[in-house]
Chains A and B, each alone.
Chain A
Amino acid sequence: MKVNLTVNGKDVTADVEDRTLLVHFLRDVADLTATNIGCETTSCGACTVLLDGESVKSCTVLAAQADGREVTTLEGLGAGGEMHPVQKAFHEEHGLQCGYCTPGMVMAIVSLLKENPSPTEADVRQGLEGNICRCTGYHNIVKAALSAAEASK
């Protein structure tokens, strides 16, 4: 079937198998490889992207379900060569180690801060429950989220 998405502001159209997952469309058709696959069961959040501005786990969304809609991935987050405040905060606070969960984490936090621009630490910890990181113990990810919230004020 033909699927047409706007990915990071660009039109991407392709004929794909009906069962094509959004994450595979992004990685294999749009050739945007920042979005990683971590579990295939909507558990780990490594594949989190924004669909019409809201975070979704792209390993359990069909590309067809995203037809005609806008997707933002990590690659599309910065503007004018500048990192997004959440990306900057991850760098400043050492919010990443191996980097594998990072694209999904960053997108999840962008979405979380949109819904709640002034979260408490508990809000951030609850809000990120669906994103697993195995390296950082979440400590600096939580710090980065809080500091990005502060910086965005």
Chain B
Amino acid sequence: MSILGTRVIRTEDPRLLTAGGVYVDDLREPDLNGAVRATFVRSTVAHARITGIDKTDALQQPGVVAVLTAADMSDIPPPPPADPDAPPAEGPVPLGGVWSEPLLAVDTVRFVGEPVAIVLTDTTYQGEDAAELVTVDYDILPAVPSIAEALKDETILFPEAGTNTAVTGGGDISDDSIFDGCDIVVEGDVVNQRVACLPMEGRATAAVFSGGKLTVWTSTQNAQISRLILTAIGLPPDAIRVIAPDVGGGFGAKIGIDRDTIAIAWAAKHTGRPVRWVETRNENLLAMTQGRAQLHHIKIGGTRDGHIKAYRLEVIQDTGAYSRMGGFLPTLTNLMAPGVYDIPAVQANYKVVVTNGTPIAAYRGAGRPEATAAIERAVDWFAAEAGLDSAEVRRRNFIQKEQFPFVTKTGAPYDSGEYEAALDKVLQASGYAQLRAEQNKRRESGDVKQLGLGLASYVEITAPDPAAGETGRVDVREDGSAIVYTGSSAHGQGHHTAFAMLVTEELGIPMDKIEVVHGDTDLIPEGIGTYGSRSLQLGGSAVHNAAIEVRDQAAKKAASLFEAAEADVTLDKATGSWHIAGDPDKSLTWGQVAASAEGKTLTANVNFTADQPTFPFGTQLSVVEVDTETGKVTLLRHITADDAGPVVNPILIDGQRHGGIAQGAAQALCEEVLYDADGNPLTSTLADYAAITSAELPSFELIRSETPTNLNPLGVKGIGEAGTIGATPAVQNAVVDALAHLGVRHVDMPTTPERVWTAINEARKASAK
């Protein structure tokens, strides 16, 4: 019987549940004995020239080892000259040149929380005391706290650039004739607000420079990429070892490493002292990259019978004070603009602007949730205007099953899908007709608590960089155990359990004799890591193929040991032993076969690449209750059919869906990073940032749906981000739907009581006129 698809509880858990994980702050490595604590001095203002930094008082404090600023960084080589073959601004790389971001502020600060100096002390408390005493003189400049201010180009954040617009891209959107002949055209602005990624473990790094080698333990999603980034401090890759210990969540904000971590690694090299830095939540909410932060102008048109004919999406991306990802995020938003619909004419473009906010980078979905939020809101606008049910409008416009593979008007090559089936599953499981009846009843009776149903049918792109691939190595040793080395990087997803399942499936070696190793560049020099829901489809496929290669090698060895033809040798996966046809008494264990191999180890090392990304899809339905007197929204039910191909382990895929839905609902309901007019952050502790809790969420109702892809041997697509992508618009649409009969057409996210209450009252005022 295959283990794939069965419920296997995690091998990771016993340790995490009894002793706790070993996160950076928990490391007790001998190399870190006597490590000094790093405390950053961060900008307290949004935009200013630095006119002086006085370390004198700080240096006199007890326990202070050093106070380091950009002026101390003369041992860092200058950045290489601009590479003519560098990836375009659409690539996920920081913009260089006039837009570049220093490791520590040089003469200008551009956001509250920007690192200005590092204080090294014997203890944490000493560091907090001393950092207070580093005096930074600021000559305050006007702040650019929003997209609207940035677009005015009155205050320019990078004077040499001459504009706040860092990148533009996408297609031509000037031809308005695509809306000719549409019976219905709806147009409007939608805010996809800035949110915090908020992994429960913030950023954390420990570094030791010894004997010419730099060892960095860091809370990252990508040890190998981090190693390449760290070469910026003037060391070749082979002089750097990066280790990802247990990582307490990432959600995109721990892809690679930030300037803060590079600066810590440099500080260890510069001072010769081991250094450890573990950020506070306040630092985390000020300076870890954040997500979304787009403004959309949307136009949709179609016929009165519900066929969408044309769609236009203009994206303005607030990239914060520094462009960490060029035009990458809005490029994905443009690419995924038409969603699950076969729309004859689609236009999309984008503009990236800098503001005095925390830099924006990937957050669970990274550019795709924004696309889905836009089209799914637009489809509801269109349905409302046409007087049709939102489920019916979706059905009429879906790309049909027989149209796959399907290339959208924006160029996205969708591999496989069955969008209508996902919708039907959700409608049926939710009791959609009864819910609509209940909604009508409440509308007619003027119930204070109105019911709203929100649909989101989504498709997303996973493993968007399939050619980069992922590494997987499987060794079987003479004790019969297997060890798996993966370039993919776990931080909660359950890689160790899933990858061991893949190996036991092919080799019959029991799970408890399979060890999975990730996140150490000395052991695994080549790898990419985890983002874009790529782990199972690329990393898992690499492990799967490596296991098959090892099995093939073992078959040859076993044949030679049996003195038989390879064709007569078989592996009994139930017992994990090798046999020969016609002689049931003869058998070999995995250990015996491995012992006959060179180095007494069978090994296969695979770099799996795919030809194209995959496109998981699904439909989510949210049911909310809105108190029309207070504006309070209660999420009552959330029902989803998310299809990412065959399921390897139901608890792992459902865990990803649960977490994704919660984060998506959080954006729709309560979470938002806010700044005042001077660029001061208003949500820089968890007392202020409204992170979603258990009390605001129901249990989720998940429906299984499995449409395989042919782009990898497992047939799987990514599931890490799908929950988030579908949930945000489903919940938002539900809130608006609850109020539609009152004349409310749109409520921006987060749909806080104040916003909802205001929308209701404005609609009432408008209808009274």
B699 on the A face (CB < 8 A): yes
Q: Is the CB of B10 within 8 A of A91?
A: yes
In the bound complex, how far is the Cα of B226 from the Cα of A21, in angstroms? 33
User: CB within 8 Å of A: which of B682-712?
Assistant: 685-687, 691, 693-695, 697, 699-700
Interchain Cβ contacts within 8 Å, total number: 179
B373 on the A face (CB < 8 A): no
User: CB within 8 Å of B: which of A94-142?
Assistant: 94, 96-103, 106, 121, 124-126, 128-142
In the bound complex, how far is the Cα of B201 from the Cα of A99, in angstroms? 10
Q: Is the CB of B248 within 8 A of A36?
A: yes
B17 on the A face (CB < 8 A): yes
Q: Is the CB of A135 within 8 A of B492?
A: yes
B660 on the A face (CB < 8 A): yes
Residues of chain B within 8 A (CB-CB) of A153 are: none
User: CB within 8 Å of B: which of A15-38?
Assistant: 17, 19-20, 24, 27, 31, 33-38
In the bound complex, how far is the Cα of B50 from the Cα of A30, in angstroms? 43
CB distance from A97 to the nearest CB of B (A): 3
Q: Is the CB of A75 within 8 A of B20?
A: yes
Residues of chain A within 8 A (CB-CB) of B162 are: none
CB distance from B490 to the nearest CB of A (A): 9
Also in contact, A137 and B246, with CB within 8 A (given A33-B20, A34-B19, A36-B23):
no
Q: Is the CB of B281 within 8 A of A125?
A: no
Residues of chain B within 8 A (CB-CB) of A78 are: 18
User: CB within 8 Å of B: which of A56-87?
Assistant: 74-75, 77-78, 83, 87
User: CB within 8 Å of A: which of B452-499?
Assistant: 491-494
In the bound complex, how far is the Cα of B28 from the Cα of A51, in angstroms? 26
Nearest A residue to B281, CB-CB: A39
B603 on the A face (CB < 8 A): no
A150 on the B face (CB < 8 A): no
Q: Is the CB of B685 within 8 A of A132?
A: no
In the bound complex, how far is the Cα of B69 from the Cα of A41, in angstroms? 29
B16 on the A face (CB < 8 A): yes
Also in contact, A98 and B492, with CB within 8 A (given A91-B17, A134-B200):
yes
Residues of chain B within 8 A (CB-CB) of A106 are: 17
Nearest A residue to B655, CB-CB: A94
In the bound complex, how far is the Cα of B26 from the Cα of A27, in angstroms? 8
Q: Is the CB of A102 within 8 A of B694?
A: no
In the bound complex, how far is the Cα of B687 from the Cα of A130, in angstroms? 11
B280 on the A face (CB < 8 A): yes
Also in contact, A94 and B201, with CB within 8 A (given A40-B281, A74-B20, A134-B251):
no
Q: Is the CB of B125 within 8 A of A17?
A: yes
B386 on the A face (CB < 8 A): no
A43 on the B face (CB < 8 A): yes
CB distance from B11 to the nearest CB of A (A): 10
Q: Is the CB of B200 within 8 A of A137?
A: no
User: CB within 8 Å of A: which of B15-32?
Assistant: 16-23, 25-26, 28
In the bound complex, how far is the Cα of B659 from the Cα of A94, in angstroms? 12
* Interface SS of chain B: loop
B249 on the A face (CB < 8 A): yes
Q: Is the CB of B248 within 8 A of A100?
A: yes
Residues of chain B within 8 A (CB-CB) of A126 are: 695
Q: Is the CB of B282 within 8 A of A40?
A: yes
CB distance from B632 to the nearest CB of A (A): 15
B14 on the A face (CB < 8 A): yes
Q: Which one of B17, B280, B694 lies within 8 Å of A138 (CB-CB)? A: B694
Residues of chain B within 8 A (CB-CB) of A19 are: 125
| Contact indicator per residue, chain B 210-253, by CB within 8 Å of chain A (1) or not (0) | 00000000000000000000000000000000000011110100
Nearest A residue to B649, CB-CB: A94
Q: Is the CB of A136 within 8 A of B17?
A: no
In the bound complex, how far is the Cα of B10 from the Cα of A102, in angstroms? 14
B167 on the A face (CB < 8 A): no
Residues of chain A within 8 A (CB-CB) of B300 are: none
A50 on the B face (CB < 8 A): no
Residues of chain B within 8 A (CB-CB) of A148 are: none
B734 on the A face (CB < 8 A): no
Q: Is the CB of A97 within 8 A of B494?
A: yes
B715 on the A face (CB < 8 A): no
Q: Is the CB of A132 within 8 A of B699?
A: no
Residues of chain A within 8 A (CB-CB) of B263 are: none
Nearest B residue to A141, CB-CB: B694
B651 on the A face (CB < 8 A): yes
Q: Which one of A41, A46, A87, A141 lies within 8 Å of B18 (CB-CB)? A: A87
A11 on the B face (CB < 8 A): no
B543 on the A face (CB < 8 A): no
Also in contact, A92 and B9, with CB within 8 A (given A33-B20, A34-B20, A41-B686):
yes
A98, A124, A136 — most chain B CB neighbours (10 Å) = A98
Q: Is the CB of B249 within 8 A of A137?
A: no
Interface residues of A (CB under 8 A from B): 17, 19-20, 24, 27, 31, 33-44, 46, 74-75, 77-78, 83, 87, 90-92, 94, 96-103, 106, 121, 124-126, 128-143
Can you list 6 A-B contacts (CB < 8 A)? A33-B28, A44-B281, A74-B17, A97-B492, A128-B693, A142-B694
Apart from A44-B691, A74-B19, A77-B18, what are 10 other A-B pairs with CB-CB below 8 Å? A35-B20, A43-B685, A74-B20, A90-B13, A98-B491, A100-B200, A132-B691, A136-B659, A137-B659, A137-B661
Task: Enumerate the 10 nearest inter-chain pairs by beta-carbon distance, A residue then B residue, closest first.
Answer: A34-B20, A100-B248, A137-B662, A98-B492, A97-B492, A43-B686, A137-B658, A99-B16, A33-B26, A138-B694
